[in-house]
Structure 1
């Protein structure tokens, strides 16, 4: 599952060549507003290393996303994450501002949900969303995730959505 495509996006397993695009994405304060804040190039490099190791350990992880014309659009994926000491599989996505409002988040969330529940046969997936991120909450709701609960994570108020197989 190193590659897949949707109607308008191509997804490629994260690798070292994606570092420059990820650094640019993570340095954008608007993109990073609900992702814990702007990340330095060094922090993004560590993030990339951790996510490449996730692929090696679990056989799935984050993908770099490109539009059909080859422009970097963001990153998205499925990854193990500890939530209140429970190992969960999170659906995660972040897009460059240039593609906001075009429906790419809903398109990729639908594809990743299908991959997670059908191809990987995972029992459930969660989405963790900052309470004020209405756009991301709507993406998960359109993908049939149900609001499970509110919590505080890393000092931020978030909501957790879940979908089950």
Structure 2
């Protein structure tokens, strides 16, 4: 599944042409505050390579998100992540600041959940959220994810939400 659309967004499979947009996104300290901090260009280049390899290995991964007029809005996807020594599959979404507060995260979370549970037939999905990220926690709750537990991930206090097929 190389791409999909929601009411207000189009998603295209991550590729090398997206590097500049991702670098700009990851350099924004407000955007990156709940992503483990600002990533310099070289770190984003490595991030891109790892996430493109995820696609090759698993047949799903991250997409770049654009508004219907083609403006880069962010990134989102479904990917493997190891949490508490367990291989989980998470939905993830990150938007440029100018797109915050418009319901786009809820729109994409709903779409990713449908893709993961119905199309990919995954048994469950998680959302991994920094404890202090109330906005992202609300997004997952609106998408019918249930708070499962608190834990430490990469030295940060996080919560895990889960939804099952």
What SS is found at the alignment partner of 1:101? Answer: coil
The residue aligned with 2:99 is: 99
The normalised TM-score by structure 1 is 0.99
Cα shift readout 1:94-144 (whole Å, capped 9, x = no counterpart): 000010001000000000000000000000000000011000000000000
Cα shift readout 1:43-76 (whole Å, capped 9, x = no counterpart): 0000000000000000000000000011000000
d(CA) in 2 for partners of 1:135 and 1:158? Answer: 14
The normalised TM-score by structure 2 is 0.99
4+ runs of 1 displaced by more than 6 Å? Answer: none
Number of paired residues?
165
Q: Are 2:101 and 1:117 aligned? A: no
What SS is found at the alignment partner of 1:80? Answer: strand
Name structure 1 gaps, 5 residues minimum.
Answer: none
Deviation at 1:154, TM superposition (A): 1.0
d(CA) in 1 for partners of 2:4 and 2:147? Answer: 28
The residue aligned with 1:60 is: 60
d(CA) in 1 for partners of 2:83 and 2:131? Answer: 16
